[in-house]
Amino acid sequence: MTPVRRTRERGVETLTLDSPHNRNALSAPLVGDFAAALTATAADPGVRAVVLTHTGTTFSAGADLRDPPDPDALVGLFRQIAELPKPVVARVAGHVRAGGLGLLAACDISAASHDSTFAFTEVRIGVAPAVISLTLLPRTDPRALARYYLTGERFDAAEAARTGLVTAAGDDVDAVLAPVLDGLRRASPQGLAETKRLLTARVLEAFDRDAAGLTALSARLFASPQAREGMTAFLERRDPEWVV
């Protein structure tokens, strides 16, 4: 079964992350399937916009520690979303962790249900939110990122909206998105493509400037003794050795 399902309604292509066994974690197969779906979508003149959503109670649990994607592939996926000549809208009705937040920030517009939760958990397993900073730093409040990057605290959808991580939050995420999708359907393909190009210019500058260095940092940290201890502790459901 494919980990990314595709459906379409009135020019809006919905890509659904459907990998319940690992809570839609960014595994090598999921990243590859997602990239292929975006490539097909970009070439299809019948698609006006893309909605990214999920099955289950987790939008994405972050990188799959058992079957992680190549860091270059993850960078490529985030860049592909930013460069797609069609708006990408995230629909979140669940939890988002670590690398899943980089995926969320790569999208142009996002909405979350009020019961969604978010956390940058990298520091708790001995690594840093390196590659995902390419999409997060240009778009999210830096003081909020400083707190949540460094502590790994969980925060709610209202805080995510306040900090710019998501566009809007509400009790009914589909009701929040209804006027957004109506507006995108009324917009011209050329108008959408050129407007998105304006909006993503700073994000793409970050990729050009920082992607190689952040990819190298990610690889170095994941290969470190502290990361091995942190990931082992996570998989064994215990505290790592440095917790005091």
Domain ranges across the chain: 1-172+189-244
- Per-10-residue mean pLDDT, the chain, length 244: 94 97 96 97 97 98 92 96 98 98 98 98 97 98 98 98 98 98 98 98 98 97 97 95 96
1-172+189-244 adopts what CATH topology?
2-enoyl-CoA Hydratase; Chain A, domain 1 (3.90.226)
In the β-sheet with 88-92, what is the strand arrangement from edge to edge? 4-9, 12-17, 49-54, 88-92, 109-113, 168-170
Whole-structure pTM value: 0.96
Phi and psi angles of residue 165, each rounded to the nearest 5 degrees, phi first: -65, -40
